[in-house]
Amino acid sequence: MRRILFNGRPVEGQRDFPIIIAGNELPQRDVIYAFDSEESFDDWTRSNGLADKINRAKRSISEARALRTRSSFDDVIRRQRTLIDRINIDLQELSQRTGLSLGTRQFFERAIQTDIFEGRIFDPGIFYEHVNYEGHWLPMGNLSYPKLSWHGWDNRISSLQFGGLGCMFEHSWFEGAQYWMVAEDTAYLGDFWNDRASSLWSGGM
């Protein structure tokens, strides 16, 4: 179980933190960094060389939020579902061809690696219904999901494998508590984020 640093100080147990960030490319990969405000989070990103990357992400998320006033998202939903179906077929084919099981680190790394002829199957992550990378899965094809309910995934994610930078949000349209991912790979999101995400933003690899 990973340690938790809340505003830079160790805490015991899991709580309802407004903002957390975790991943293999952070100063301590075995630590979940938690914050009580945007200000304390921003201070931490500046001191750890992540400010530019996170600020670009925040601008992109703000632009995405502004699109919620569109009259219809039917075409977007259809396009996303088509892409999800295509990725799922490719994942199953890759598993059969390589003998690697979905959910293993080796399979994930093979699926996101750049092949000169085939390219990546998906970019940058995959989310699982159950702990330990089991159950149904939802891939991200270098796009964001403002409403996971569009695809039957609202409050359903329990584990994940993610390359690059992304963020899960407690509510639709990228609102509420935030779980930032920086090359994150976790077999269980913890009691404080299990079955909680309602939207996903992705910055790609």
CATH of the domain at 83: 2.60.20.10
Helix axes 38-47, 51-65, angle to 10 degrees: 140
Mean pLDDT of the 120-128 span? 82
Mean pLDDT of the 30-52 span? 95
Mean pLDDT of the 167-186 span? 96
More confident residue, 7 or 154: 154
Give the chain's domain count.
1
Q: Is the pLDDT of residue 184 over 60?
A: yes
- pLDDT of 15 reads 73
CB neighbour class for 44 (10 Å; exposed up to 12, middle 13-18, buried from 19): buried
The amino acid present at 200, given as its one-letter code, is L
Q: Note if the pTM is more than 0.75.
A: yes
Binned at pLDDT 50, 70 and 90, residue 120 comes out as: confident
Domain of 165, in residue numbers: 3-202
165 and 178 Cβ atoms separated by less than 8 Å = no
- pLDDT of 173 reads 98
d(CA 132, CA 128): 8
